[in-house]
């Protein structure tokens, strides 16, 4: 929410870098210094970001957004995709081998999640991870 206050493009850059920090670099989201570093890398006004991050209004916006997501869509984790018909689907992925694999999987899964509403859940047992997930083919 603090990044969003600086506009759509800066927010999108921040979000991409934040997701990378969390899911690739395994950083903790509660680490404010890490958040400030990501904000700087995204080109945000870091002083304004710090101020907005500490603003109680920002915390209330996050709480309200969370409550709406849970109550209206049944969200329990991210990423949850919300579709124009009001349907929702959670997706957990492991790191793909390439950008092409990621794009193909995204297209396939979006089609499945939007069209085939009778599919309730697809889940791989974990751990142990399935053979081949981390290059151990």
pLDDT in tens, 107-123: 998 888 888 888 887 77
Q: Are residues 12 and 55 in the same domain?
A: yes
If you average pLDDT over residues 13-24, what whole number do you get?
92
Q: Are residues 93 and 47 in the same domain?
A: no
Domain count across the chain: 2
Residue 34 confidence (pLDDT) above 80:
yes
pLDDT of residue 30: 92
Q: Are residues 67 and 89 in the same domain?
A: no
If you average pLDDT over residues 13-38, what whole number do you get?
93
pLDDT, mean over the chain: 87
Most confident of 88-97, 101-110, 115-124: 101-110
Whole-angstrom distance, CA of residue 90 vs CA of residue 78: 7
Q: What is the number of H-type helices and E-type strands within the chain?
A: 5, 2
Would you give the end-to-end CA distance of the chain in angstroms? 41
Q: Evaluate if pTM is beyond 0.75.
A: no
pLDDT of residue 79: 81
Residue 13 confidence (pLDDT) above 90:
yes
Q: Are residues 22 and 58 in the same domain?
A: yes
pLDDT of residue 122: 73
Q: Are residues 21 and 59 in the same domain?
A: yes
Confidence of residue 127 (pLDDT cuts 50, 70, 90): low
Provide the domain limits for residue 13: 4-72
Non-local CB neighbours of 65 within 8 Å, separated by 6+ positions: 1
Q: Are residues 53 and 84 in the same domain?
A: no
In this prediction, what percent of the chain has a pLDDT beyond 70? 89
**Residue pair 36/15 in contact by the 8 Å Cβ criterion:** no
């Amino acid at each position: 929410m603090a990044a969003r206050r600086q506009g759509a493009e800066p927010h999108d850059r921040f979000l991409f870098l934040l997701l990378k920090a969390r899911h690739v670099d395994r950083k903790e989201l509660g680490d404010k210094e890490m958040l400030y570093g990501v904000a700087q890398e995204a080109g945000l006004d870091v002083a304004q970001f710090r101020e907005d991050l500490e603003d109680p209004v920002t915390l209330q916006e996050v709480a309200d957004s969370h409550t709406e997501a849970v109550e209206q869509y049944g969200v329990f984790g991210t990423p949850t995709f919300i579709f124009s018909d009001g349907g929702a689907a959670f997706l957990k992925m492991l790191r793909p081998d390439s950008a092409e694999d990621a794009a193909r999987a995204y297209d396939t899964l979006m089609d499945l999640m939007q069209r085939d509403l009778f599919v309730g859940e697809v889940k791989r047992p974990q751990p142990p991870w399935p053979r081949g997930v981390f290059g151990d083919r």
